[in-house]
Amino acid sequence: MNNLIEIEKLKSRDKRYISRLITQVESDAQSSSSIIDQIFSHTGSAWRIGITGPPGAGKSTITNELVKYLLSQNYSVGVIAVDPTSPFTGGALLGDRVRMSEIGTHNNAFIRSMASRGSLGGLSRKTIDVADILDAAGYDFIFLETVGVGQSELDIAEAADTTAVVLVPESGDSIQAMKAGLMEIADFFILNKSDRPGSETAFTSIKSILSFRTRKQSDWETEIIKSIAQDGTGIIEIYKMIETHREFLSSNGLVGKQRQKRMYNRIREIISEKLNKEFWKNFNQQDVSDSLAKIVNGDSSPYKFAQKFVNEFLT
Ligand SMILES: Nc1nc2c(ncn2[C@@H]2O[C@H](COP(=O)(O)OP(=O)(O)O)[C@@H](O)[C@H]2O)c(=O)[nH]1
Ligand SMILES: [Mg+2]
């Protein structure tokens, strides 16, 4: 297709146009690079907020409430919900779609669910490309919701300016989270479902673990906000915390630094993807199959096989 971007149309936040660009980004890397090349100089104004945590913690409910609040304050908001997709259905969670449609029809809001397939972490290159599209379109805030289970929460910290980790009182989630490295990436915590039993205990235990950890930024105090997302309790406090963190980064000259680090990781990812593709283009399936048979027969080893192919690629 003709990939000449109509910047004015994008900036008018024409939703159908934005959707079309996103679909192209999702479909192939060639379109992505053409689109991002053209819009990139228009990005950088949006504030990107990562919301991560275990499944069912209330991330979507919190995001939904925050968006409603921001809309009431006349801000425009983009939401990218990255769902752990079943390889069988290939679609995002239905519940989220229904919930999101509530705000999705608002003129100043744009909601998109994305599958997390095809990437090891929760956030693929495509997600960040989509965030760029929404940024260039002029949305004031962009939310990135991802499930944090293991590796993926590390990725969200690479994509967001402010990262909030959502925990709930039950099931020792708080302790699990510390192990999973969520401590290092959280700019603040949200203890959601504070209406449930055990929330005080959970609060105290997160607080005490926080006091032992190495800080993300030396002068930044990582706080825990209690919320009951269902009825909106704590939502304004969460918003204020986002603003406080933004102010902290801005006044210390850290916004650019953080974004540079992100850019470095993003470029590395793009290079990996490119090299990987180039690499496998070089070999025909028959060569690969022959070598595999040799390895399985014990005539070669996986390391020898890999080295031979790398050598061939490099010459
Ligand atoms: N009791 C209680 N339930 C909540 C609260 N926030 C969300 N929920 C419910 O928890 C379930 C999972 O919420 P959801 O936002 O989809 O979680 P996500 O998987 O983290 O996005 C839903 O049924 C919500 O209605 C809360 O503060 N208290
Ligand atoms: Mg969700």
Supply 295's token pair.
Answer: 């390895």
Of residues 71 and 82, more confidence is placed in: 71
Centroid of ligand 2 to alpha carbon of 86 (angstroms) = 14
- Whether residue 97 has pLDDT greater than 80: no
- Whether residue 259 has pLDDT greater than 90: yes
Cα–Cα distance for residue pair 229/238, rounded to 1 Å: 11
In this structure, which residue's CA is closest to atom 24 in ligand 1? 58
CA 10 from centre of chain: 22
Residue 55 Cβ contacting ligand 1 at under 6 Å: yes
Give the bridge partners for 147, in sequence order. 53
Residue 59 Cβ contacting ligand 1 at under 6 Å: yes
Residue 58 Cβ contacting ligand 1 at under 6 Å: yes
Of residues 56 and 118, more confidence is placed in: 56
Centroid of ligand 2 to alpha carbon of 60 (angstroms) = 4
Give ranges for CATH 3.40.50.300 in the chain. Answer: 7-254
Mutate to test the pocket of ligand 1, among 60, 61, 166 (most ligand atoms within 8 A of CB): 61
Given a contact cutoff of 8 angstroms between Cβ atoms, the answer to whether 187 and 222 are in contact is yes
Supply 129's token pair.
Answer: 């490309």
Q: What percent of the chain has pLDDT over 90?
A: 51
pLDDT tens digits, residue range 47-73? 999 998 888 899 989 999 999 999 999
| Block residue for tokens 């210390």 | 252
Q: Distances from the Cα of 244 to the Cαs of 22, 149, 213, in angstroms?
A: 31, 27, 21
Instruction: Give residue 144's pLDDT.
Output: 93
Cα–Cα distance for residue pair 295/289, rounded to 1 Å: 10
Residue 228 Cβ contacting ligand 1 at under 6 Å: yes
Average pLDDT over residues 24-38: 90
Residue 230 Cβ contacting ligand 1 at under 6 Å: yes
Which overall architecture, per CATH, does domain 7-254 show? 3-Layer(aba) Sandwich (3.40)
Q: If you write DSSP's letter for every residue of 76-128 in order, what string do you get?
A: -EEEEEEE---TTT-S--HHHHHHHHHHHTSTTEEEEEEE-TT-SSSS-HHHH
Supply 60's token pair.
Answer: 């979507």
pLDDT tens digits, residue range 266-291? 888 888 888 988 888 878 888 888 88
Instruction: Give residue 149's pLDDT.
Output: 56
Least confident of 111-120, 231-240, 271-280: 111-120
Residue 199 Cβ contacting ligand 1 at under 6 Å: no
- Whether residue 150 has pLDDT greater than 60: no
Average pLDDT over residues 150-179: 74
For the whole model, what pTM was predicted?
0.89
CA 54 from centre of chain: 14
Instruction: Give residue 21's pLDDT.
Output: 96
Per-residue pLDDT band at 120 (split at 50, 70, 90): very low
